[in-house]
Structure 1
């Protein structure tokens, strides 16, 4: 099977009906634990014509497409710029990870400008996003016993802790495992196991990982309480001006 990130994705960008401000790779490849059969999650922002937003018809603000390319399942989801920026302002760490992903398929000056504004939407309340995401993934792990939701649980908790402590969005689990002192020592072993299979039993001591997950929730709570991040976004006006200018420039 073709390595997912060796595929030329430029034709995918060229086929989109509206201009893309950016497209990046998210999902397991961004998080640092893809398996041999992981799909490629492409995320980005498109720009609707101004006329689509001022008439009576509801615009299609989110577009999605799934297909197979050279034996790899591709999943592309893009939002119109206005919707994406609104999501940024709602303590949504997921869209920030997409915006700031180092796995860039397509970029523009607008992408770089938007990324530069991202620190202005970070708040201490982003801890709630990661706490909630971790809770959802932990429930999936408890039901299935699979490795994937367990790794997601650890990933989002460590991302939240790292963000609260340093004001930086870091989604790459191997990096987090080395930088966050609270990370369990066995994470590299779990990451290596995930590389061999997309689905399957985690093969872990459930009591041990449950204790570590509960401990990390406590660390996240402490990091949020001590965080110097503001209570509200500071870049709202700058983002508004950016959306208006980018739309009018087409």
Structure 2
């Protein structure tokens, strides 16, 4: 099954250059990262910016998160960046979203600080990341049951398999086609990926030979049980030891960029 790469997307470097503060990195997330983009999928660009020193030292709260959605020559763009301090706090929460953004292979912009964050990532992984993936799976499953759309159904499978793989292998893998090669899953998931490629908001009910709802429900429940088993047997630590190094990286980056 095809895995997408950054070369499948238009040149996004000009967007990085347009940002008001320097970016430490920018990567593509969303359906392109997860391995099931549609022809009409938007591009989710995620990154980390560094606020000027005077913005974080003053009395006025700084804008730690910036978000923007717009149409770029017919391509819907969704850009979200966090200041490094907020991103670091999210990494320590723990938060699977930001780990996947940090480690996305679809890199639009990188720096030595990005590389330093990537080097710290293995030490940021904990057994508690299962909460993120279990909770996200339940949210997407409820959305699927309400709408019948393929997108939330594929998200449900994706996050469950990512969580299982993380707990077993200590590796963050967000690409669903790759996960299907590493974690046992129903055979029909590949067909769902192919079907979604034709339409971002396609419905399961429109597919010929689609599995019955009860069949899918049973498969999802089995994956939840597998996730729980992986949680009980994982050798991931319950806490990270990378906090001091992450703090040092934040301080050093603030000081280095103070005069830029």
Q: Could you tell me the TM-score, scaled by structure 2's length? A: 0.93
Aligned to 1:196, what secondary structure does the other structure show? Answer: coil
2:255 corresponds in structure 1 to 248
Equivalent residue in structure 2 for 1:93, among 93, 96, 100: 96
Do 1:121 and 1:233's aligned partners in 2 also have CA atoms closer than 8 Å?
yes
1:24 corresponds in structure 2 to 27
Deviation at 1:6, TM superposition (A): 3.2
Q: Deviations over 1:39-93 (max 9, x none)?
A: 0000000000111111100000000111111211001000000000100001100
Q: Deviations over 1:142-178 (max 9, x none)?
A: 0011100000000000000000000000000000011
Unaligned runs of 5+ in 2: 1-5
Aligned to 2:44, what secondary structure does the other structure show? Answer: strand
What is the CA–CA distance in structure 2 between the aligned matches of 1:44 and 1:114, rounded to whole Å? 12
The answer as to 2:223 corresponding to 1:216 is yes
What is the CA–CA distance in structure 1 between the aligned matches of 2:204 and 2:54, rounded to whole Å? 51
1:179 corresponds in structure 2 to 182
1:8 corresponds in structure 2 to 11
1:202 corresponds in structure 2 to 204
Deviation at 1:193, TM superposition (A): 0.3
1:65 corresponds in structure 2 to 68
What is the CA–CA distance in structure 2 between the aligned matches of 1:210 and 1:150, rounded to whole Å? 10
What is the CA–CA distance in structure 2 between the aligned matches of 1:38 and 1:85, rounded to whole Å? 29
Aligned residues: 247
Deviation at 1:139, TM superposition (A): 0.2
The answer as to 2:168 corresponding to 1:159 is no
Deviation at 1:4, TM superposition (A): 9.4
The answer as to 2:149 corresponding to 1:146 is yes
Q: Could you tell me the TM-score, scaled by structure 1's length? A: 0.97
The answer as to 2:228 corresponding to 1:230 is no
Aligned to 2:60, what secondary structure does the other structure show? Answer: coil
Deviation at 1:186, TM superposition (A): 1.2
Aligned to 2:204, what secondary structure does the other structure show? Answer: coil
Shift in CA distance, 217/228, structure 1 to aligned 2, threshold 3 Å = same
Which segment is superposed worse, 4-13 or 235-244? 4-13
What is the CA–CA distance in structure 1 between the aligned matches of 2:93 and 2:130, rounded to whole Å? 12
What is the CA–CA distance in structure 1 between the aligned matches of 2:7 and 2:37, rounded to whole Å? 9
The answer as to 2:138 corresponding to 1:135 is yes
Deviation at 1:5, TM superposition (A): 4.1
What is the CA–CA distance in structure 2 between the aligned matches of 1:119 and 1:218, rounded to whole Å? 25
